[in-house]
Chains A and B, each alone.
Chain A
């Protein structure tokens, strides 16, 4: 059975089973590998994408729930002003280390800034604590979010 959805502005039709997690549709069927598999249980945030602008864990979002909707992935993050600001701040603060979790971190950070243009430290904690980074880039993520927002942290 085929399902249509919009990924990064382009309509794609895939014939995966409707219960296939969006993550694997994006990675294996569509071939966009920037979105990462970390835990498969919505515990680590590596697979975060935006579904109609809302951050979701694509490993726990079935394809059927994305049918007809707009999915944005890391590959399109530079298409919005907030996305470009976050990317620039990530580069300026040299946030990534191994980099594996960073697509998810950036998607969560973009969603945060879109909703709260001047987040406090506790709002950053709240929005970002679902994204695990084993390399411990948290201090730089925090600094980069503040710098993208033009705010100051502790």
Chain B
């Protein structure tokens, strides 16, 4: 319970992150310093304006008018934390959700994601990490409010109860939370509050509608790109077309003469035009000539990267899995099956291009915008501005999509540098082209799998060898040990009952910068494993669904979702002419999934008509949001399956906008049949995993329909 106690202390702790060894150096040091309890940086997120009030703990604020605000410590980027996290607090706090206002948390120690070691939104961790602590926080606050009321009435707290943001006393006397909040916030938090049994939940587990929806249908929701500060200027930034290149000098005489242009400044990553509107800055930037040092990547191209990856893949890798003896197993095999799978670089391309607002003053810095990693934002802003982290205030807005891109803070550093250079608040906005050409790309991978089958087609061995760049090596280098990056190996170990297994990985830096992308390495490893198991089924002459079932006999949660997906999809039943089905299963972030898409192929084009999904993610906080996230992941993943590929020529990303980096649109969005398994197991994550499953599931369906085994994404028929 010590963690929970720490997180719920009344006295706020201040957190800072110092990047060592350069901005993206060898590691992050998270430090804490005691701060006064008055939180000057408590940020408001429209439409809930920052409310005044007393705070029994870091998560709950109650105004004298009985306004109850719940602090949301994870960035809302579409995945629903603005609703699901407050639900956990409200359940124990005994406040109905329609009375709750939500405020985004500042960057502070109580809000650190203990699964990730920083205030990070990622890894499908939000609900998993918060499931107990946020209920504890709600219960502690409720007990403190009850205790304050009991003191006021001079009765025993055990004779009082809480309901609907009121405390009710033994004689039926009532007092609102607001009336006792100030007194409650002076009490010691109770040590081990007893939590409700799930059967008593009034909010958690119910498919309630999202609290942010009303502000997202009338244009009032505030995203980073909407931020406005008094006296703010707008910046457009030219970055070196070759990733990693730096500006040497520039010439901007023409730009300075253009309307509205105030400054042209060189910063570490490029040259910025600062004007009174963004459009004027953007237009003027086109007239600036810049001399670049293109750096080490000036001649990098996709063919060269592929060749270097092939060379890396030929090396023995660091071993992450060893079971039995694959060499001995292979000796008794009746046949050998081998296949290689290859995945491309991908862009995140959230709908809101990268942007941030910074106001650098002599003794303080305000940074304001969309980020998935609050302490990194604060730490880098402080280092860039030359102030202490405690002099930096961060306000997190809604994120117009994140998908992992906003874990990085390059655009925040840029905004800070520009504001510092021009001495005014500045909103930096990238164009879509900037966004696509200066991403941290989802890594490529090359994976070779070999298996020996016995005479009945049952696998005796499974050898997995994967190669590719490591994001972790770049951003959290300390987590890479002995050549193993755990975030390259998600779902790399198969669930199938195969006696001899060997897993190896080669970390290979291609020169192109890489970043975490929704579902991280699940998307790479699940594609290879679930395609290959399908190939084994074919080699064995077995139905691919039955083949999986036979190898998952010891995995009841897999079997359950597989059975549901089989039944709901009509597996084995006749299909309309030209249609075909495929199947794939996975576990990711503690969530078990089975998927059966129905596809057709015409004139070389793959159409996904329908996707049947069964999911068991244990206890669910909000099944409505769970369903949204599954729908979301199918569409996001399908874009990568059908279209997604970033390529390089002369060190420059060739794609620039949605015409040459296509994504799924309404007319390509399949029907979905989603079944969620009721469960009291601990919660699994759902923001990401389905993204990884759609690739092999569709590829397997394409094989079933055409006989073509496609081992590369995006899927391209011969």
Contacts and interface: CB of A to CB of B under 8 A. Distances in A.
Interface in B23-43: none
Contact of B635 (A35, A87, A138): A138
Contacts of A94: 209-210, 213, 624, 628
A102 B667 contact: no
Interface stretch (B217-225, B290-298, B507-515, B570-578): B217-225
Interface in B412-433: 429, 431-433
Interface string B222-239: 110110100000100000
Contact of A39 (B401, B635, B657): B657
A154 B221 CA distance: 32
Interface in A46-101: 46, 73-75, 77-78, 87, 90-91, 94-101
B317 interface: no
Contacts of A74: 218-219
A131 interface: yes
Interface in B622-663: 624, 628, 631-636, 639, 657-659, 663
A40 interface: yes
Residue from A73, A95, A97, A99 having most chain B Cβ neighbours under 10 A: A99
B219 A135 contact: no
Interface residues of B, number: 63
A126 B277 CA distance: 34
B214 interface: yes
Contacts of B222: 33
A15 to B, nearest CB: 9
Nearest to A125: B667
Contact of A36 (B79, B213, B351): B351
A43 interface: yes
B259 A17 contact: yes
A9 interface: no
Given A34-B220, A43-B659, A134 B349 contact: yes
B590 to A, nearest CB: 22
Contact of A137 (B77, B403, B632, B667): B632
A103 interface: yes
Contact of B401 (A31, A43, A98, A130): A98
A114 interface: no
Contact of B277 (A29, A32, A103, A140): A29
Contact of B218 (A16, A75, A124): A75
B632 A97 contact: yes
B252 to A, nearest CB: 19
Contact of B219 (A29, A75, A132, A137): A75
A7 interface: no
Contacts, number: 181
A77 B318 CA distance: 58
Nearest to B670: A139
Contacts of A100: 223, 350-352, 400-401
Contacts of B225: 33, 36-37
Contact of B658 (A17, A44, A154): A44
Contacts of A35: 219
A86 B239 CA distance: 41
B658 A102 contact: no
Residue from A20, A34, A135, A142 having most chain B Cβ neighbours under 10 A: A135
Dominant secondary structure at the A interface: loop
Contacts of B302: none
B216 interface: yes
A76 to B, nearest CB: 9
Nearest to B355: A37
A38 interface: yes
A131 B632 contact: no
A31 B230 CA distance: 13
A128 interface: yes
A36 B352 contact: yes
B4 interface: no
B636 A135 contact: yes
B672 interface: yes
A28 B635 contact: no
A133 interface: yes
A136 B218 contact: no
Contacts of B667: 125-126, 129
B303 to A, nearest CB: 28
Interface in B57-80: 76-80
A5 interface: no
A107 to B, nearest CB: 10
Interface string A101-122: 1110010000000000000000
B657 A139 contact: no
A28 B234 contact: yes
Contact of B666 (A33, A43, A98, A131): A131
Given A91-B209, A99-B400, A78 B218 contact: yes
Given A100-B223, A134-B636, A41 B631 contact: no
Nearest to A21: B279
B635 A136 contact: yes
Contacts of A138: 631, 635, 664-666, 669
A24 B213 CA distance: 25
Given A77-B218, A132-B351, A135-B632, A28 B669 contact: no
A140 B629 CA distance: 12
Interface in B200-218: 209-210, 212-218
A75 B215 CA distance: 11
Contacts of B218: 34, 74-75, 77-78, 87
B588 to A, nearest CB: 18
A28 B277 contact: yes
B258 to A, nearest CB: 9
22 contacts: A17-B259, A31-B228, A33-B222, A33-B228, A36-B352, A38-B432, A41-B658, A94-B213, A98-B76, A98-B401, A99-B216, A100-B401, A125-B666, A131-B665, A134-B351, A134-B403, A135-B401, A137-B631, A137-B632, A138-B664, A140-B631, A154-B671
Closest 10 CB pairs of A and B: A34-B219, A136-B635, A100-B400, A99-B216, A98-B78, A97-B78, A138-B669, A74-B219, A24-B279, A96-B216
Interface of B: 76-80, 209-210, 212-223, 225-226, 228, 234, 259, 277-280, 349-353, 398-403, 429, 431-433, 624, 628, 631-636, 639, 657-659, 663-667, 669, 671-672
Given A98-B77, A134-B401, A139-B672, 17 more contacts: A17-B259, A33-B222, A36-B351, A39-B658, A41-B659, A43-B659, A78-B218, A90-B213, A91-B214, A94-B209, A96-B217, A99-B398, A100-B352, A106-B217, A124-B666, A136-B634, A154-B671
